[in-house]
Chain A
Amino acid sequence: MPATAPAPRESLEQRLRALEETQRATLNILEDFDSEKARLEETHRAALNVLADFDEQSARQVVTQRATLNILEDFDSEKARLEAAQQAALNILEDFEAEKAKVAATNVELSEEVAERKRTEQALARHTKELARSNAELEQANQTLRQRTSELQAVNAELETFTYSVSHDLRAPLRHVDGFSRILVEEWGGQLDPAAHQYLQRIRAAIRQMAVMVDELLHLARVGRQELRQQVTGLNSLVEEVLRDLKPEMEGRQIEWRIGSLPFVDCDPGLMKQVFANLLSNAVKYTRPRPAALIEVDAINHNGQPAVFVRDNGVGFSMKYADKLFGVFQRLHRAEDFEGTGVGLATVQRILQKHGGRIWADAELDKGATFYFTLGTSESIPAEEPAPESVRGEP
């Protein structure tokens, strides 16, 4: 029997049944063989008997001898058939062995598969447990977040009230001091000596200063709360607008402006204009002692990101105090030299932070100052960066 192609496991029983049948058939053949043999012996005996009767039956003997030879021939062919049957049985046994090995292999594979599945199930159970734990942690975190949010909302509401209070309540007494000191000058000025007039003037100057501070502080708070109204804006147009606004401050001054090509950026144009208004008016203010002021506005590539700078050749400041530059009410100059409230750069920083950008400065006392700023977040900006002197390569 030819070897069969690898059969699926289900047909194994069929094969075994076939094998058994073949074996039975073989046994039958063997049995047949035995009976044939017995018949042969019987024929032999008959032949002997026939030989005994030879003399009288010589003609029949020939016939019988021929029959005997025929029978012997039959016997040989029967034997060949038997051998073929045995060979077939052996083949079937061989197939059976191969099949058995295959089944064993399949069984091994199957048990491996079962073990693997068990391991997967265990891992799944473990992961499910971990997931449940993570979920619980997440829920906890969410809870905390909700609590923080409501706390934050409460603080914001408080801040709102505070800001409103400052706006409304602090301005009123300032107005009163200014009003009554003014009335004093107008109605009793004639009875006051010049020193008294001086003091009254200083009272009013202080009031004006404080009013500006209150307004700027409120403005700073408002910038913090305000939603950004972003749109793509050409920064050059903002600079031009600011320069027009600055004209009165520049009267009688010799200032050379070098304005480079600035990028178009996605920003709140109103707030960005305030950034330029602040930086440019600072540049104008702090170059006042220079007979020929030079103010540059340009863009550079800072760590692969566009950065804008405003550079002046003014009085500058010592980098020792650079960390105070952007603090509220922090000033690096005396009020009698350069007027100001110390809120401007804090507001600028707040605006840039709201845009996801940042500002930093580089300066030298009596040489000038450069303010750099970026818009939009960038991980590539190091925590403390040196002022870029030239265009940097792409990151």
Chain B
Amino acid sequence: MRQDEVEILLVEDDPADVELTLHALRNNLRNQIYVARDGEEALDFLLCRGPYSSRSFDHPPRLILLDLKLPKVDGLEVLREIKKDARTRAIPVVVLTSSKEEKDLVNSYRLGTNSYIQKPVDFDQFRETVKQVGLYWLLVNEPPPKALFTP
């Protein structure tokens, strides 16, 4: 997969969650999903730096699925960086996490998340949720115009 063709950036450290999420998106958009395993990798990818310095801001992912509890740089910090930077601000972010703690909700929305979803324990519900999120943001939602990413 070419990194410039990524449609969904999944930021998730837990391999089981990665596998279940990919399973849920199978038959839908699986081929265009890129997985970052911690917050640092997610930021490097999005801000086209370090191992991803060859990437271009012109081809942002169309959706970021962001877990909150991540090694190195946590999800809220990733969210803060993304929304602070004019080159990444317009990318829709869906927080997808185990937590429904009020402080996580408050902080996420305060930092500008576009959506917040608690991962359902029931796999059928989880699969349905992930599928709907993918379909909505990639097919229903009108993406931000390219001009927004080249200020």
Contacts from A to B (Cβ < 8 Å): 163-164, 167-169, 171-172, 174-176, 178-183, 207-208, 211
- From residue 116 to 134 of chain B, which have CB atoms closer than 8 A to chain A? 119-124, 126
Q: What 1/0 mask marks residues of chain B from 107 to 151 whose CB sits below 8 Å from any chain A CB?
A: 000000000000111111010000000000000000000000000
Is there a chain A Cβ closer than 8 Å to B4's Cβ? no
Q: Which of A175, A182, A208 has the most CB of B within 10 A?
A: A175
Contact A164 B121 (CB under 8 A): no
Beyond contacts A176-B17, A208-B122: 12 other A-B pairs, Cβ-Cβ < 8 A, are A167-B98, A168-B101, A172-B16, A172-B17, A174-B121, A175-B98, A175-B120, A175-B121, A178-B121, A179-B126, A180-B20, A207-B121
Q: Which residue of A lies closest to B100 (CB)?
A: A167
A179 contact set on B, CB distance < 8 A: 16, 20, 23, 123, 126
Cβ-defined partner of A182 (8 Å) among B69, B99, B119, B123? B123
- Knowing A175-B126, A179-B16, A179-B126, say if A211 contacts B100 (CB, 8 Å): no
Within 8 A of A (CB), among B45-95: 68-69
Residue of B nearest to A187 (CB): B23
**Interface check B5, CB cutoff 8 A:** no
| Chain B neighbourhood of A178, CB < 8 A | 121-123
Count of B residues near A, CB < 8 Å? 19
A38 and B99 alpha carbons, distance in the complex (Å) = 135
List the A side residues contacting B101 at CB < 8 Å.
163-164, 167-168
A211 in complex: contacting residue of B16, B68, B121, CB < 8 Å: B121
Is B119 a contact partner of A171 (Cβ separation < 8 A)?
Answer: yes
- How many whole Å from B32's CB to the nearest CB in chain A? 22
Identify whether the interface residues of A are mostly helix, strand, loop, or mixed. helix
Minimal Cβ-Cβ distance residue in B for A214: B121
Q: Please, could you name 17 A-B residue pairs with CB atoms under 8 Å apart, sorted by A? A: A163-B101, A164-B99, A167-B101, A168-B99, A169-B98, A171-B98, A171-B121, A172-B14, A172-B16, A175-B20, A175-B123, A178-B123, A179-B20, A179-B23, A179-B123, A181-B123, A182-B123
What chain B residues lie within 8 Å of A211 (beta carbons)? Answer: 121-122
Tell whether B97 is near chain A: CB-to-CB under 8 Å.
yes
Report chain A residues within 8 Å CB of B122.
178, 208, 211
Q: Which residues of B contact A (CB under 8 A)?
A: 14, 16-17, 20, 23, 68-69, 97-101, 119-124, 126
- CB B96 to nearest CB in A, in angstroms, measures 12
Q: List chain A residues, Cβ under 8 A from B121.
A: 171, 174-175, 178, 207-208, 211
Give Cα A175 to B98, complex, Å.
9
Shortest beta-carbon distance from A268 to chain B in Å: 15
User: What's the minimum C-beta distance from A175 to chain B, rounded to whole angstroms?
Assistant: 5
Known contacts A172-B14, A176-B20, A179-B16: A167-B123 contact under CB 8 Å: no
The answer, among A168, A180, A183, A207, for a CB contact under 8 Å with B98, is A168
In whole Å, how far is A198's beta carbon from the nearest beta carbon of chain B?
18
Closest to A181 in B: B123
Once bound together, how far apart are the Cα atoms of A163 and B98, in whole Å?
Answer: 13
- Shortest distance from the beta carbon of B31 to any chain A beta carbon, whole Å: 20
A179 to B19, CA, bound (A): 10
For residue A201, give the distance in angstroms from its CB to the closest CB of chain B: 13
Q: A169: which B residues are within 8 A, CB to CB?
A: 98
**B116 shortest CB reach to chain A, Å:** 14
How far, in Å, is B120 (CB) from chain A's closest CB?
8
What A residues does B120 contact at CB under 8 A?
Answer: 175
Q: 5 nearest interchain CB pairs?
A: A211-B121, A179-B123, A176-B16, A182-B123, A179-B20
What residues of A have a CB within 8 angstroms of the CB of B97 in the complex? Answer: 168
Distance (Å) between the CB of B95 and the closest chain A CB?
13
Q: Give bound CA distance, A175 to B97, whole Å.
A: 12
- Which residues of chain A are within 8 angstroms of B98 by Cβ–Cβ distance? 167-169, 171-172, 175
Instruction: Report the Cα distance A168→B96, complex, angstroms.
Output: 12
Chain A residues with Cβ below 8 Å from B20 are 175-176, 179-180
CB distance from A158 to the nearest CB of B (A): 16
- Contact partners of B68 in chain A: CB under 8 A: 168
CB-defined contacts of B119 to chain A, threshold 8 Å: 171, 175
A171 CA to B69 CA, complexed, in Å = 13
Which residues from A are CB-within-8-Å of B69?
A: 168
| A225 to B, closest residue via Cβ | B102
Tell me the complex Cα distance, A178–B121, Å.
7
A163 to B103, CA, bound (A): 12
Q: Is the Cβ of A183 less than 8 Å from the Cβ of B23?
A: yes
Could you tell me the distance between the alpha carbons of A379 and B100 in the complex, rounded to whole angstroms? 39
Whole-angstrom CA separation of A167 from B68 in the bound complex:
13
B124-A182 in contact (CB<8A): yes
**B100: A residues at CB distance < 8 A:** 167
